[in-house]
Amino acid sequence: MSVAATLGTTQEAQVKQYFPNATHRIVEAPARDFQEVLSGRADASITSNIEAATLVAQYDNLMIVPVDGGRSPTPVAMLLPQADQVWINYVNTWIGLKQEQGFFAGLGDKWGLNAN
């Protein structure tokens, strides 16, 4: 079995951790791990739930292999211009409102990321 990942990403470490006996196909950007699967050079790749859903919608020959739950929850960051305090305040306010409304908890439930 061969498993692909993009060099320097979290997924590179996960491929090596979760599939130690597989052949690791580590590709350098701008190439992407899922392209290795599409081309037949790899059997699988690891990515986020969000990207996987997007890729499956875009490529008919890709699929998501179901798992019991999240294996490596990883926080996501958003880069903002440091000098644009108005935009930073807007984003922070949006996040606070969404937290209060339970939006993120609902996403966690949907994707199996909340602790039971």
Contact by Cβ (8 Å): 18, 8: no
Q: How far apart are CA 78 and CA 103, in angstroms?
A: 18
Kindly report the number of other CB atoms within 10 A of residue 58's CB atom. 9
Query: pLDDT tens track of the chain, all 116 residues?
Result: 999 999 998 899 999 999 999 999 999 988 899 999 999 999 999 888 788 889 999 999 999 988 777 777 777 778 899 999 999 999 999 999 999 999 988 888 887 766 55
Q: Which domains does the chain have, with CATH numbers?
A: 2-58 (3.40.190.10), 77-116 (no CATH)
> Which two structure tokens, joined as six digits, stand for 59?
């490529």
Res 115: pLDDT: 56
The C-alpha angle 90, 93, 96, rounded to 5 degrees, equals 150
Res 58: pLDDT: 95
Q: What is the pTM assigned to this prediction?
A: 0.65
